[in-house]
């Protein structure tokens, strides 16, 4: 029988307290602010969720769209859609299906964060949709991916490309396939006391660290190094993007480590969960 370490036990107890407080206001794990009582508060919360998911990073701040191929030559031909023009054509149900399943009513879509937004609670998803409904139309319609887009990108992929091991062939996944992949390999539940941390990590950390937070399917590796971090060092990592060895960390596309957008309580809940997850893996490796 293994004895739980004091730091891990303290983290779990902290997560228990914070998760219980959050559950009392929303009935399910959600981001802070999901206990909105007015339409204005709901929209404001949805705007924060959009920021956490990086919606404006791809679609631009005014949601008029961007040429991904110009930024990433590998995916030449792909645009982040001018959703300020297209959203009015979607019902709320269609929009939620797109956000949760990566399924567009008319065509395949790519690079949508459906892989992570699929996990949003009802309160967070409703707020996000409410915010997206406030976007004012601007700019011109953006092109759809050209015919043969997936095959063209697949031909440009290196032989050791992302997820070839999973699918046994070289191809470029659409948003629906990514959502399925992330649902299949989602990091495990480790108990109600750290469930909100799991929830937040699934929505904000997995794009870099993989759906299981073990590095599978993404380039930035597992989160297991968190066991070496003190609370203060972890805070510095998330808020300032600085690792405990002094390295400044960035995502593969150049953005800084964006945990600073989380509230202090949200960051502590994430810490509680990833410590528990990494601790479980360490114990299994030692067996």
Q: With the C-alpha atoms ordered 153, 159, 161, 164, is the resulting torsion angle positive or negative? A: positive
Hunting for tokens 């109600």 — which residue is that? 192
Full-model pTM:
0.87
pLDDT at 44 over 50: yes
pLDDT at 49 over 80: yes
Boundaries of every domain in the chain? 1-30+185-287, 33-173
Give the pLDDT of residue 168. Answer: 81
> Can you say whether residue 217 is alpha, beta or left, with left for phi > 0 and alpha for psi between -120 and 50 degrees?
left
Q: For residue 117, which of 145, 143, 142, 98 has the smallest C-alpha distance?
A: 98
What's the pLDDT band for 5 if we cut at 50, 70, 90?
A: very low
CATH architecture of the region 1-30+185-287:
Orthogonal Bundle (1.10)
Distances (CA, A) of 203 to 2, 9, 208, 230, 262: 31, 25, 11, 23, 11
pLDDT digits (tens, 9 = 90+) for 110-150: 999 999 999 999 999 999 999 999 999 999 999 999 999 99
The total of other beta-carbon atoms located within 10 Å of residue 20's CB is: 12
Q: For residue 259, which of 242, 245, 281, 272 has the smallest C-alpha distance?
A: 242
pLDDT digits (tens, 9 = 90+) for 50-96: 999 999 989 999 999 999 999 889 999 999 999 999 999 999 999 99
pLDDT at 162 over 90: no
What's the pLDDT band for 12 if we cut at 50, 70, 90?
A: very low
């Amino acid at each position: 029988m293994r004895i739980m370490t004091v730091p891990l036990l303290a983290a779990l107890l902290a997560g228990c307290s914070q998760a219980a407080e959050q559950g009392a206001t929303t009935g399910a794990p959600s981001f802070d602010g999901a206990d909105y009582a007015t339409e204005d508060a709901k929209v404001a919360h949805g705007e924060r969720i959009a920021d956490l998911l990086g919606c404006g990073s791809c679609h631009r701040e005014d949601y008029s769209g961007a040429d991904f191929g110009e930024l990433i030559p590998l995916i030449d031909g792909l645009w982040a859609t001018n959703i300020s023009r297209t959203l009015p054509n979607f019902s709320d149900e269609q929009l939620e299906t797109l956000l949760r399943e990566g399924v567009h009513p008319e065509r395949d879509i790519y690079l949508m964060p459906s892989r992570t937004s699929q996990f949003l609670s009802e309160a967070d998803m409703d707020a996000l949709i409410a915010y997206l409904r406030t976007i004012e139309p601007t700019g011109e319609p953006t092109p759809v991916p050209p015919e043969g887009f997936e095959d063209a990108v697949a031909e440009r992929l290196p032989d050791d490309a992302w997820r070839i091991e999973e699918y046994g062939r070289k191809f470029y996944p659409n948003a629906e396939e990514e959502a399925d992949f992330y649902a299949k390999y989602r990091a495990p539940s480790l108990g109600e006391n750290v469930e909100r941390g799991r929830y937040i990590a699934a929505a904000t950390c997995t794009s870099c660290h993989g759906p299981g937070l073990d590095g599978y399917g993404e380039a930035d590796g597992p989160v297991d190094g968190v066991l070496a971090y003190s609370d203060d060092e972890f805070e510095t990592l998330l808020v300032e993007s600085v690792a405990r060895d002094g390295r400044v960390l960035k995502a593969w596309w150049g953005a800084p480590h964006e945990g600073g957008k989380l509230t202090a309580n949200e960051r502590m809940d994430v810490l509680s969960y990833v410590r528990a997850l990494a601790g479980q893996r360490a114990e299994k490796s030692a067996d």
